[in-house]
Chains A and B, each alone.
Chain A
């Protein structure tokens, strides 16, 4: 397999001073690459270097078997489109006018649009759903709309590869998903290759074929999402010190309350998560249990509880584990139970609740609200 886009020892930086060196990217045609990394790690610098906005400080970028640096401006502009974060100060330009600037590489000497060009503009605007604002002034539309117009502009350019710098930052959840869907659609229909930076890790994990992790000095990892999102890696890359990020499910939790547990929470099957988070908000330290390792509540409890009494998945809870849980209950002044009934395998939790009652612990039952 030949790579459509690849770099050889690419070094990027400003004024001959390298920030990040020896970047090796390998992309096949139609793949989506996402750059992730902490703020100021150099994601934008890498993207700008790929887009020839700033000169490489070393190495080579190959695009469709050509050294990108040797392509003429016109050739390059027909291959690569960009969507950047910098604000533009257009004057008296409608959203349609801005979109139409994407046709620039294809129009004649005076830049007059043909009927064909107008059709491409129209289709691009329909694809990202901005047709209804086409006659509005570009400076008067919202940030999200502006972002979508800029995508339409890039699509108009009919590129083979598109470079986007944090394209989803200003979009609400609906448009975030829609934006990425459009990219996937373009990739499927036209074999578009995509290189972008994203702040939303959970989206990056879902949409990317390849992920490049930058940490400010060097490329830490380059690989598939499965390779990147392994336990503990994201926390390390972003140097998370307060709170936690769960690579398995993309959950973020705030920092756990420190100190001795005051409350023991009996939960399972997703009934306890909101209780754990409420206790965290109220600044109350708690223990959680007894939870199977594959329980929905387990990752949250793991992140927030002082101690989590955990049981092997799909196995009955052992007596030793129950004894451990009882000892934790002894320390606490209160027990919160989030379960109405207990299944066969978790009868130990019922026993635990009975034990708490017998020990005269304050008991509170919080059942998840059911709707409909």
Chain B
């Protein structure tokens, strides 16, 4: 039994890593301009290739693909943390309105600063998004105190999401600056327009958050049995819950600041990897979620860019197509378990 489990874990991780490598390569190669693997390898080894191809490779494809991988991972991790926090399998940054809250504050800050021709830095965007995420989170927490019902909590989260989105739309509509065109794309969710600066900052922030989450694997495992038992095992529940809230908000904020709100990844990815692993042990789930989210986003971004090329579909459209059925599947499965 112990041995069988180990084999299953290793297989799952190997699969995720392989999928990440293959999709990473595919994302770089495939596009309106095709780049062959050979060209990429030769360029990496220092040989000269076609100038335009090189520019596309280094300035557009690589940062975008890296961003999709890292942000996807962060999104899945944020979803996993929120699901653990609420003991609710359909919690996630998008569903609970946290992404939309972050989006709203970011849009307000951008419009305000751009209107005064002040350059917006990456860190400022993340900070704004974090603020927005915390506002939404605070509201959801307030609601979760009043209502002790999973479904109602999600509904209230969705409502907050709509309110925040409406405000964002308003702001975007009335700001007719040329730069706002970008803002419009961003507010629907997209990995386009990533620069190396962006990638560097997001890698730093997300790597730090990931490390902290990984160190929390043990209390997370105790928390699975519920507050009372976790407390009996010596966990400071109040502190632990605060840490969870802040970490999931930082992760959500990072994603929104760079790629806008992306739906369903935070929901679907953790559940898919959970089924692959056949366990909920956090020490395995944390890295697996990150990989799974990355793979999911690489796959969806590949489709978003190429399906209706040269038109780009918004990333949320693709993630919804693949993510929503997973959510339905979760609900059916849970319902069946209750009957047993």
Contact = CB atoms under 8 A, between A and B. Distances in A.
Contact of B87 (A80, A89, A98, A107): A89
What size tier do the contact residues of chain A reach? 35 or more
B228 A104 contact: no
Contacts of B337: 139
B11 interface: no
A52 B233 CA distance: 11
B195 interface: no
B232 A81 contact: yes
Best-buried of B224, B278, B281 by chain A (most CB within 10 Å): B224
Given A82-B228, A109-B215, A135-B1, A91 B280 contact: yes
Interface stretch (A69-77, A281-289, A359-367): A69-77
Contacts of B1: 135
A144 interface: no
B329 to A, nearest CB: 15
Given A111-B217, A135-B1, A104 B233 contact: yes
Contacts of B185: none
A104 B280 CA distance: 16
A107 B340 contact: no
Interface in B209-223: 215, 217-218, 221-222
A93 B229 contact: no
B280 A92 contact: yes
B218 A92 contact: no
Contacts of B224: 90-91, 93, 101
Contact of B222 (A53, A82, A91, A104): A104
Given A101-B222, A101-B233, A104-B222, A93 B280 contact: yes
Contacts of A348: none
A1 interface: no
Contacts of A72: 234
A116 interface: no
Contacts of A157: 233
A2 interface: no
A109 B218 contact: yes
B332 interface: no
A104 B281 CA distance: 13
A322 interface: no
Contacts of B217: 110-111
B229 A82 contact: yes
B44 interface: no
B221 A73 contact: no
16 contacts: A53-B228, A73-B233, A73-B236, A82-B232, A86-B228, A88-B226, A89-B226, A90-B280, A91-B274, A93-B280, A97-B279, A101-B222, A104-B221, A107-B218, A111-B217, A157-B233
Interface of B: 1, 87, 89, 215, 217-218, 221-222, 224-226, 228-229, 231-236, 274, 278-281, 283, 337, 340
Q: Which 6 A-B pairs have the closest CB atoms?
A: A73-B234, A77-B234, A111-B218, A104-B233, A74-B234, A82-B232
